[in-house]
Amino acid sequence: MRDHLVAVRELMVARQQGIRAVLGVKNLWHLGPSPAWPLILVVIDEAHTFLNETKGTDAESKRLDALVRETARLVEELIRKGRNVGIQVVLATQKATGDAIPTKIRDNCQVAVSFAQRTSEAATAVLGADITGAPDEHPRRLQDPAYVGVASMVAEGRPGFTLVRTPYVPDVVADRIARDTAHLVRDPLALLTGAGVRP
């Protein structure tokens, strides 16, 4: 995970250095992604696995904790600085409390989404304290089977909370889409080099 994040950070720095020369703007979202400057989506599933320090005292625990700290630093930097050059990070976890996802990372995320939660504390950890004043959108309400795939969302710059439904995609369909679109994969760093930016 750390090695992949290092590569994405290198791409972010190269994009920061070349965005004005290549696109003529300092923020990709003034134009939107394109085949020459694609959106990079970094999805970290079970994010708590990579961001939770053990704080052990033996040598292996110290090595792993140093790796976790470096991973957390990279994730935080990508979340804070990657948006304007088209790099978005998605942290997926069943536990978004501060011990699982450091608050310095979680609090910099633009969008927060929570599926059903059993407790108000868990919902507040993801969506913030204002969710207690929104009973219709509260994740505790989403426990019913009728709400499978439904989540409560809060987005930066938008007031209140929104319920969203995500469709179920069977593995066979996801596999087919991956196969059918595999030829579209390009190395975004190579695209920058082709545009004259030296990483």
Residue 145 to residue 149: CA distance in whole angstroms: 9
Structural domains counted in the chain: 2
Task: Tell me if 79 sits within 8 A of 89, measured CB to CB.
Answer: yes
Considering the domain architecture, whether residues 59 and 5 belong to the same structural domain is answered as yes
In a shared domain, residues 6 and 91 = yes
pLDDT per residue, tens digit, the chain (199 aa), is 899 999 999 999 999 999 999 999 999 999 999 988 999 999 999 998 898 887 788 999 899 999 999 999 999 999 999 999 999 999 999 877 877 888 889 888 888 999 999 988 889 988 989 999 999 999 999 998 999 999 999 987 888 999 999 998 999 999 999 999 999 888 888 888 877 776 6
**The last residue of a domain, from among 109, 131, 158:** 109
Give the 3-state secondary structure percentages of the chain, helix then strand then coil, rounded to 5: 50, 15, 35
User: Last residue of a domain, which of 45, 74, 109?
Assistant: 109
Q: Do residues 168 and 72 both lie within one domain? A: no
Predicted local distance difference test score (pLDDT) of residue 21: 92
Phi, psi of 119 (to 5 degrees): -130, 155
- Residue 79's identity, in one-letter code, is I
Asked if the structure places residue 198 within a domain, the reply is: no
Residue pair 140/123 in contact by the 8 Å Cβ criterion:
yes
Are β-strands 150-155 and 40-45 bridged in parallel, bridged antiparallel, or unpaired? unpaired
Residues 55/120, Cβ–Cβ less than 8 Å: no
Q: What number of other Cβ atoms are within 10 A of residue 75's Cβ?
A: 27
Q: Are residues 124 and 142 in the same domain?
A: yes
Residues 12 and 99 in one domain: yes
Domain boundaries, position 151: 110-193
Instruction: Specify the pLDDT at position 199.
Output: 65
Q: Which two tokens stand for residue 122?
A: 């868990």
Task: Give this prediction's pTM.
Answer: 0.84
Question: Where does residue 198 rank: exposed (0-12), middle (13-18), buried (19+ CB within 10 A)?
Answer: exposed
Q: By three-state DSSP, how is residue 59 classified?
A: helix
Q: Say if residue 98 is in the same domain as residue 162.
A: no
Distance CA 193, CA 195 (A): 5
